[in-house]
Amino acid sequence: MSAYTPAQVVEKTGFGLDTLRYYEKIGLLSDVERTAAGQRRYTEAHVEWLGTIGCLRDTGMPIAQMLRFAELVRAGDHTFAERIALLREHDERVGEQIATLRDRRRYITAKIEYYERALS
């Protein structure tokens, strides 16, 4: 199994060192082993998990919900239905955000067109 240093994980995931430490502290990132010298060592599973967390974070999922999702994942396969419900709820919010952004973009595009016409 591959082991990664914190710097390598930062490079692979785009998360900062402080974020990795914070996620570990609050329990969003678990089972991080340390070397005899106390340096954290991450696995490929950690990197994959951080990909999931990054997606959820980037789409606006609150930390509390990410923590709930992490708890469900750690609890095992019998939580699939709860995970689906949590992700469906989040997906609905993301869809609403996308619709709002589309509306805002149409407004901005109309303003650009207005100003371009005014310059002509």
Domain ranges of the chain: 3-119
pTM of the model: 0.87
Mean pLDDT across the chain: 96
Residue 111 · residue 67 · CB < 8 Å = no
Q: Which amino acid is at 4?
A: Y
Distance CA 39, CA 81 (A): 37
Q: Is pLDDT of 69 > 70?
A: yes
| CATH 1.10.1660.10 correct for 3-119 | yes
Per-residue pLDDT tens digits for 34-48: 999 999 999 999 999
Dihedral through CA 29, CA 18, CA 33, CA 58, nearest 10?
30
Percent of the chain with pLDDT over 90: 98
Per-residue pLDDT tens digits for 2-33: 899 999 999 999 999 999 999 999 999 999 99
**CA 54 to each of CA 93, 111, 112: distance values in angstroms, whole numbers, following the listed order:** 17, 33, 33
